[in-house]
Every structure is written in structure tokens, then in C-alpha cells.
């Protein structure tokens, strides 16, 4: 896996991703707590298994992960991708077991904060609590937006949606999105995210390339050529989307 390379050849993006929270606005003790529990990970490791004990909150610092859930038949659905800056609490309603399986897609760093520490942090820092709430609302909005398309949308709509979601999350909801970015996913994984087979992901991407909407180079390096067309395909209201889906401001 060329995860290292993946991140290495876009240094400006990486640095932006690695510190999505504005340093100046965050108390030093928060940063200290995060780095205290920080650990590095490789691509392809499993951090959490569905149903097993989980008493920590994950704050992603660098790299990609995904949280997934499976049917007994081996069918896997990716619930969400975890990008730098994301906070994920994978515990289920009982508060102590993991609601899904957490696996890394690239190498990177994550801060694994024990729940009671995290809770205490939130309690004593109101602005952090509010930030966490907004992050959570944004996460939920993405989940719902995708569910809408799983239920009612075509393959083309789902893929277009996912690309725009990645695009916007990667550049932190900036006003001028990059039109070129790399997704550290196989088509199989993208399919598991969108409820499609890898074969159909491939065909759908090919069709978009044929229609000059975008280009795809080696292993999911995407270049958007016609953003308006992509947005139209996705069925998104661009304004509303940016507001609802992305939260990176502390």
C-alpha cells in the first residue's frame, strides 16, 4: 500500500488536514491531552472490532480510517470515513462496546482519548463541547444525505455525491474547493460506502470520464473538470450542503 506516498506528494493538503482546528483558538491543555494519547498507525490495521469493548473517543490527526458494519454473509457496509480532524465515538447505546469495526486506510496518527477524560474535557470547556456538537451534527447530516441516496438515488448520483463530499471535507469547507484530490480507496471500498459493487463503481466513473465531468488517474486521483455537472448529478444544493455537511471551524 502506497499510503505514505499518498500523503507525501500533496504536502500542502496534508499540513492543512493535519491541523484542522485553529491552533490559536484552542487551549493548550486540549492540544496537550490530544498529543498525550496520540499514536501512529499503519495502513490496514484494525483499531476496533464491532461488539468488543471500547471506552475511548478517537480524534483523528492524520490519515484516513473507516468505520464499517457487516452482515453475517460477509457483506460490508462502510458507515463513515474518518478524516483528519474528525472526532469519532464508536460506542453503542450501552456506552461500552463498539458499534462498528474501525480500520485504517492509510498510515497516520490518531489520539485515543479515554472516555472519562474526554467527557471531563467537554464539561469544563464549553466551546469545545459546542464544537463537538457541531461536528456531530455535520457527521449526522452526511449520514442522512447518503442514506437518502442509498434509498432513492441512482449509482451516478451516489458517486457524484461521494466525490463532492470528499472534496468539501478535504479542503475544510473552504469557499474555493480544490478540483483535484486523491482518495485513498479502492473502488471496492467506495462501493461498500455507497451500496454498489466495485464493478459498477468502475463503470459509473468511466461514464463520467467519457462525459468530460472528471478524470481519474492511477488509484483514485480525481480531477474534476466540470463541477457544475457533478453537482447536478449529485442532486445537491451546493450552498446548503456546505453549511450542513462540513464543520471544521473551532
Q: How many CA atoms lie within 13 A of 82 on its CB side?
A: 29
Q: Is 76 in the site for DNA (CB under 7 A)?
A: no
Position 186 contacts DNA (CB under 7 A): yes
Helix (H) or strand (E) holding 29: helix 28-36
Contacts of 144 (CB under 8 A, 6+ apart): none
| Residue 33 grid coordinates | 491531552
* Contacts (CB under 7 A) with DNA, residues 209-228: 216, 218-220
220 binds, among a second copy, DNA, none (CB under 5 to 8 A by kind): DNA
Query: How far lies 168's CA from each of 7, 37, 176, 202, 241, in Å?
Result: 18, 28, 9, 22, 9
Q: Is 149:235 a contact under the CB 8 Å cutoff?
A: yes
Q: Considering the complex, state which of residue 3 and residue 194 has its C-beta at the smaller distance from a second copy.
A: 194
Q: Which stretch binds a second copy (CB under 8 A): 18-26, 31-39, 220-228, 240-248?
A: 240-248
What is the C-alpha to C-alpha distance for residues 72 and 214, in angstroms, rounded to an integer? 37
Nearest-angstrom CA–CA distance, 198 and 91: 29
Residue 186 contacts which entry, DNA, a second copy, none (Cβ below 5-8 A, type-dependent):
DNA
Choosing from 17, 60, 99, 189, the residue that interacts with a second copy (CB under 8 A) is: 99
Check if the beta carbon of residue 192 is closer than 8 Å to that of residue 78. yes
Question: What's 188's DSSP letter?
Answer: H
Quick check: helix, strand or coil at residue 118? helix
Q: Segment contacting DNA (CB under 7 A): 21-29, 100-108, 167-175, 199-207?
A: 199-207
Q: How far is the CB of 230 from DNA (least distance, A)?
A: 16
| 104 touches DNA (CB under 7 A) | no
92 lies in the binding site for DNA (CB under 7 A): no
249 binds, among DNA, a second copy, none (CB under 5 to 8 A by kind): none
Eight-state DSSP code of residue 23: G
Give the Cα separation of 135 and 116 in Å (integer): 19
Does residue 233 touch a second copy according to CB under 8 A? no
* Measured distance CA(109)–CA(212) in Å, rounded: 36
Q: Is 10 in the site for DNA (CB under 7 A)?
A: no
Sole window of 6-14, 23-31, 83-91, 185-193 interacting with DNA (rule: CB under 7 A): 185-193
Residue 86 binds which of DNA, a second copy, none (CB < 5-8 A, kind-dependent): none
147 binds a second copy (CB under 8 A): yes
Of positions 28, 151, 210, 218, contacts a second copy by CB under 8 A: 151
Residues lying near a second copy in the complex (CB under 8 A) are found at 51, 69-73, 75-77, 79, 91-95, 99-100, 133-134, 137-138, 140-141, 143-153, 192, 194-195, 235, 240, 243-247
Amino acid at each position: 500500500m502506497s499510503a505514505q506516498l499518498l500523503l507525501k506528494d500533496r504536502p500542502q493538503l496534508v499540513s492543512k488536514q493535519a491541523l484542522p482546528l485553529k491552533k490559536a483558538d484552542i487551549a493548550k491543555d486540549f492540544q496537550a491531552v490530544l498529543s498525550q494519547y496520540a499514536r501512529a498507525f499503519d495502513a490496514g490495521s484494525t483499531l476496533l472490532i464491532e461488539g468488543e469493548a471500547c471506552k475511548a473517543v478517537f480524534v483523528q490527526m492524520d490519515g484516513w480510517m473507516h468505520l464499517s458494519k457487516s452482515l453475517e454473509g460477509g457483506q460490508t457496509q462502510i458507515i463513515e470515513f474518518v478524516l483528519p480532524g474528525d472526532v469519532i465515538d464508536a460506542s453503542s447505546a450501552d456506552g461500552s462496546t463498539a458499534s462498528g469495526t474501525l480500520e485504517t486506510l492509510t498510515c497516520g496518527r490518531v489520539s485515543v482519548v479515554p472516555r472519562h477524560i474526554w467527557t471531563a474535557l467537554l464539561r469544563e470547556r464549553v466551546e469545545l463541547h459546542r464544537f463537538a456538537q457541531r461536528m456531530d451534527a455535520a457527521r449526522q447530516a452526511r449520514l442522512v444525505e447518503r442514506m437518502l441516496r442509498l434509498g432513492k438515488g441512482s449509482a451516478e448520483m451516489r458517486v457524484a455525491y461521494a466525490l463532492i463530499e470528499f472534496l468539501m471535507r478535504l479542503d475544510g469547507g473552504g469557499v474555493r474547493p480544490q478540483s483535484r484530490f486523491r482518495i485513498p480507496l479502492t473502488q471496492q471500498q467506495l462501493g461498500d460506502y455507497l451500496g454498489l459493487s466495485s464493478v459498477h463503481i468502475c463503470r459509473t466513473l468511466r461514464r463520467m470520464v467519457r462525459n468530460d465531468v472528471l478524470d481519474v488517474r492511477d488509484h483514485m486521483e480525481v480531477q474534476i473538470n466540470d463541477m457544475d455537472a457533478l453537482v447536478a448529478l449529485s442532486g445537491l444544493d451546493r450552498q446548503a450542503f456546505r453549511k450542513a455537511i462540513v464543520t471544521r471551524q473551532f
